[in-house]
Amino acid sequence: MKRIVLNPNHIDNNLIKEAARIITNGGIVALPTETVYGLAARADRNAVVDRLYKIKKRSLDKPFSYVVDLPQRAVSDYLATLPPFGYRLVERFWPGPLTLVYYSVNDKKIGIRVPANIVTQRILSLVDLPVFCRQLISAASLKPRPLNRLRPCLRMRLTL
């Protein structure tokens, strides 16, 4: 796993582009959110999604949530027409730690999130395709760990 550090106060656009390129090319990237790190991967390539399931040791009957850079994109590109309370949730909690579960434009139930982390927003803004993101730590973990304390076997499966 290659490691780069992005300072949210002085963002290096070349590093943002590199992370976006890796996701676009089918790599899996650890991205910061406002709560934990997430694993981001293209959602439109079966081989990449399969790798993400294996890394997370997640059952295939549990779908991943989508992640996008802007609330407007989430609503216009992914979600069917929301009821009024859905728009209130979006206005109140996005960007932020809310995963909204609702019907897609294809009438499938999906989860979608718009993280508040500026680094992640900038990376996602350059990835012009659907992206899944799943929290890096397991749901059973009590607290997040720094990336440098990840199990070596997990670090080797990530691209960035």
What are 95-151's pLDDT values in tens digits?
A: 999 999 999 999 999 999 999 999 999 999 999 999 999 988 765 554 545 556 555
The angle subtended at Cα 34 by Cα 6 and Cα 46, nearest 5°, is 80
> Is 93 within a domain?
yes
> Is 57 within a domain?
yes
Q: Is the pLDDT of residue 11 over 50?
A: yes
> Is 52 within a domain?
yes
> Is 1 within a domain?
no
Give the per-residue pLDDT at 142: 43
Residue 124 sits in a domain whose CATH number is 3.90.870.10
Whether the CB-CB separation of 74 and 68 falls below 8 Å is answered with yes
Give the residue with greater pLDDT, 70 vs 137.
70
**How far is it, in rounded angstroms, from Cα 106 to Cα 47?**
22
Q: How many domains does the chain have?
A: 1
Q: How confident is the model at residue 3 (pLDDT cuts 50, 70, 90)?
A: confident
Q: Is the pLDDT of residue 17 over 80?
A: yes
Domain interval for residue 99: 13-155
